Amino acid sequence: MPLYLDEIYWNPDRTGEVKAMFKGVLDGTTGFPEGVSLVGGPWASNEEPKIVLVLDIQDHAKTFETFQGLVAKGVIAKRRLTPIVDWASMDGVAG
């Protein structure tokens, strides 16, 4: 299961749109792109306009078109997608 920490920053003047968009995604009206499922969250930051999710993404390239469209429209300011590796995997890196 390829897990990612997905931090999505939005433009503050578009908060209403972002809330409505994620409501549709989370309640299944629009949903996530193919091969993406929610594992944890969503959580909202109280320090900056961002939503934090933990996602299982089979092929993160399939999320590109969706997010690029939202960036082009000015709804999303940026996205940080960080792969999450289980702690046991550290054994192979740092003995």
Q: What is the dihedral of CA 81, 63, 86, 95, to 10 degrees?
A: -60
Q: Tell me the pTM.
A: 0.85
CA 84 to chain CA centroid, nearest Å = 13
Q: Quick one: tokens of 59?
A: 């092929």
Please tell me the predicted confidence (pLDDT) of residue 45: 94
Average pLDDT per 10 consecutive residues for the chain, totaling 95 residues: 93 94 91 92 95 94 88 94 88 72
